[in-house]
Structure 1
Amino acid sequence: MSELLREIDREDAQWALEQALLTALGYQRQEIRNMAGENASTGPVAAAVPIDRARRQLFTILLGEEEIPELRLTELARSARWPLPDTVRAVALASPCEVPQLAAAFGNALVSPVEGELCLLVPDPDEDREALEGLLRGRTAAVGHTVPLSDAGSSVRWARRLLELTPPGAPGGGIGGGSEGKVLFVDDHLSMLLLLQDESLAAALSSRWLGPLAELTPRQSERLEVTLLAWLEGGGAPEAAKTLQVHPQTVRYRLRQIEKLFGSALRDPRTRFELEMTLRGRRMLGQIRRHRTMAGRRARAATAGIRPLGVAREARVNGL
């Protein structure tokens, strides 16, 4: 046995151990073979080990930025038994549970962890939104946009970023809201992902364009910010009043204050555009930070409620 173990590649041994654990947890051997790309007519599980390793390598290569010779890519795809598709779509999962079943449900998907998060590459994704939501129901996941195979890394990157910007366990859905058990789509948040791809740039925008509000109290600044954003998005005082659920005259009064602070800059289309981007980004970052804080408090409260076993035993011994 020791001689056999020395001859087995470390990655192959790790793969075999993972599959054994999955089987022990109740997964069917056929589902494990589906995940590795092996069909019912293929040989024993040991024969599928090189296939799984080729698939991991193929996933890594597709996510890389270096251009890979077409012949090398074709050879690796053949070893992985994964016909090269024209387009792919990424799915990033917050939890790796039920991976074999999920990979089988999506068909011939590549599966690999990316910096601790499990991701799938779905070839030639032609499923509609409802079908994708059905496959992922009950899971916390982000679905990337459809891209050419050569740009697979982009779909993975933005799906993972969407999960990162949407903390789990908080109310809501989408960027800044909770993602617990939610299926999020990059296509729904393109503008916000673009705006928040660098939080330091969002902060720089705020510093540049919201300087006139710096001398106000936090409450005054927040009130004028939400009014200005509602006016920019709605196009007028009546529309802003409906959004804010206040009287139109209240909005007009605040707009006069805003005009005194910003002056003629508000009449410039480019300034209005950048102000709207700034305020949207500032709002979303504020929501994200609040939900992260709430999630952290809940986690600390849950941990505080767990009493170590040693304490419980001591209490019983002392008759308390």
Structure 2
Amino acid sequence: MSDVLNRIRSRPRGEWARVQRKELPAVADQVVEALQRSIPAMSAFLREIDREDAQWAVEQALLAALGHHSPETKETDAGTGTQADNVTAAVPIDRARRQLFTALMGEEEFPESRLTELARSARWPLPETVRAIALASPSEVPQLAAALGNALVSPVESELCLLIPDPEEDREALETVLRGRTAAVGHTVPLSDAGSSVRWARRLLELTPPPAAPGANAINGGIGTNQDGKVLFVDDHLSMLLLLQDESLACALSSRWLGPLAELTPRQSERLEVTLLAWLESGGAPEAAKTLQVHPQTVRYRLRQIEKLFGSALRDPRTRFELEMTLRGRRLLGQIRRQRTRAGRRARTNTTGVRPLGVAREARVNGL
């Protein structure tokens, strides 16, 4: 016990809650073992009940003593006052953790008593808040889950996701643990809203570009490049995720507000779009010229063209807001599509080297 306390106290104070949760199962096991050895009556009592139930009770008592929550009690049968009919059958811990993760996603209704039983079987005390992490690669998952404070781990479609209990707002610590991995960290939410943190972490991971070559430049307004599996945080990309939560709506918004540009050539339309967005973001022609790296007179000439197309609507604050939101969405969609195109090209390049000899010879004969 003293060794555990020393390990907790050796950490920075902000990490005590996470370390306590990580160490509690082992402490509870030691307490139960000590009770069995030192108190004969307690030893006889513990032989009559499941050891995991005893450890769970000790964990809850320790959590309450440490000020995390009130002690949890199991429901008793109204007629007999026994627990036998209400305690679910023992579930292997790995399966219980997966089931608990699924239950916390909120896709199905789970009574609170069922969540409590799953948490007991999973040896995962229910926290007040959680934070999700979506990983592109499942490397060293057990060690990673332990380092993050007894995190729940479960696959969600093609990604591996973790739920961190009662996360500390320490970005540097998370970045250190996740260094070298491509990962998206969700926002901190109440336990009842865990599915939201998982959903937006997965969405950010989906929008994350693959690791880029050294020297690649970030695209203004988006995620940019992902150098060496850099960790991304949902909190840093809330507006982007909001704009791109439904690509079809973003396209509908473009059709609604960018109609005056429809008669122009693609090159003309793109030039006026970037000029209008730079003007809306910066508030003036000289500032927009700096952003676009062109002469201020060039910006003023384009703005006169834009005013002819849009008329007095540009003086309306609501119209300017809608236009800026539309143009930001189009810029982000363009970035995502270019990333997907580059990823497809890399995939095709990787497959050309393993083409069968006969196919390659036929291609040269046909001049392809």
- Per the normalisation by structure 1, the TM-score is 0.79
> 2:352, 2:146 → 1: CA distance?
40
CA distance in 2, matches of 1:176, 1:295: 16
C-alpha distance in structure 2 between counterparts of 1:257 and 1:142, whole Å:
42
The answer to whether 1:203 aligns with 2:245 is no
The residue number in structure 1 matching 2:294 is 246
Q: 2:328 aligns with which of 280, 283, 286?
A: 280
Output aligned runs, 1:217-236, within 5 Å: 217-236=265-284
Q: Which runs of 5+ in 1 are unaligned?
A: 1-33, 312-320
Q: 2:135 matched to 1:87?
A: no
Give the whole-Å Cα distance in 2 for the aligned partners of 1:97 and 1:143: 17
Which residue in the other structure is 2:144 paired with? Answer: 102
The partner residue of 2:264 within 208, 216, 220 is 216
User: Which stretches in structure 2 are left out of the alignment for 5+ residues?
Assistant: 1-20, 31-51, 53-89, 360-368
Write out per-residue CA displacement over residues 176-216 of structure 1, whole angstroms, 9 at most, x where no aligned residue. Answer: 53435121110011011011100000000000101101111
- Aligned partner of 1:139 in structure 2 is 181
User: Residues of 2 paired with 1:117 and 1:251: CA distance?
Assistant: 45
Alignment pair present for 1:56 and 2:98: yes
C-alpha deviation, 1:307, in angstroms: 5.3
| Within-5 A mapping of 1:175-194 | 175=222, 177-179=224-226, 181-194=229-242
1:66 positional shift: 3.9
How far apart are the structure 2 equivalents of 1:167 and 1:243? 24
Contact persistence 1:176–1:291 (CA under 8 A):
no
How far, CA to CA, are the matches of 2:172 and 2:266 in structure 1? 43
Aligned to 1:267: 315
The answer on whether the counterparts of 1:230 and 1:240 sit within 8 Å (CA) in structure 2 is yes
For the 8 Å contact 1:178–1:291, the answer to whether it is kept is no
Following TM superposition, by how much is the alpha carbon of 1:150 offset from its aligned partner in structure 2, in angstroms?
0.2
Task: Give the structure-2-normalised TM-score.
Answer: 0.69
**Cα gap change, 1:168/1:304 in structure 2, threshold over 3 Å: closer, same or farther?**
same
Q: Of the two, which has the highest radius of gyration?
A: 2
Q: How does 1:103-118 map to 2 (within 5 A)?
A: 103-118=145-160
Using CA pairs under 8 Å that are at least 6 residues apart, name the structure with larger relative contact order, 1 or 2. 1
Find the counterpart in structure 1 of residue 3 from structure 2. Answer: none
CA offset digits 1:68-115 (Å, max 9, x no partner): 322221121111110111100000001111111111111210000001
Is 2:181–2:230's contact at 8 Å kept on the other side of the alignment?
yes
1:208-262 CA distance string (max 9 Å, x none) = 1011011111111111000000000001111111111111111111111000000
Which deviations, in whole Å up to 9, do the C-alpha atoms of 1:146-192 show, x marking residues without a partner?
00000000000000001111231444489453435121110011011
Q: Secondary structure at the match of 1:121?
A: strand
Indicate conservation of the 8 Å contact 2:128/2:190, yes or no.
Answer: yes
> C-alpha deviations, 1:252-290, integer Å up to 9, x for none?
111110000000111111111110010000001001101
1:153-168 residue pairs with structure 2 within 5 A? 153-168=195-210
- The residue number in structure 2 matching 1:152 is 194
Q: What is the CA distance between 1:303 and its match in structure 2?
A: 1.5
Cα distance between partner residues in 2 of 1:112 and 1:165:
21
CA contact (8 A) 1:88 1:124 kept: yes
Q: Secondary structure at the match of 1:96?
A: coil
Closer, same or farther in 2 for the Cα pair 1:308/1:133, shift >3 Å?
farther
**Paired residues of 1:85 and 1:123 also in contact (CA < 8 A):** yes
* Structure 2 match to 1:71: 113
Query: Residues 115 and 38 of structure 1: is their aligned pair in 2 closer, same or farther, counting only changes over 3 Å?
Result: farther
Work out the number of aligned pairs and report it. 273
SS of the equivalent of 1:246 reads: coil
Give, as a single letter, the amino acid of the residue that structure 2 aligns with 1:152: A
Please name the residue that 2:8 is paired with.
none
The amino acid across from 1:195 in the alignment is: L
Q: Distance in 2 between matches of 1:107 and 1:309?
A: 53
Over the matched positions of the two proteins, sequence identity in percent amounts to 85
Tell me the amino acid that sits aligned with residue 138 of structure 1.
Answer: G
Structure 2: distance between partners of 1:146 and 1:284 = 25
Aligned-partner Cα distance in 1 for 2:95–2:169: 28
Residue from 297, 305, 310 that aligns with 2:353: 305
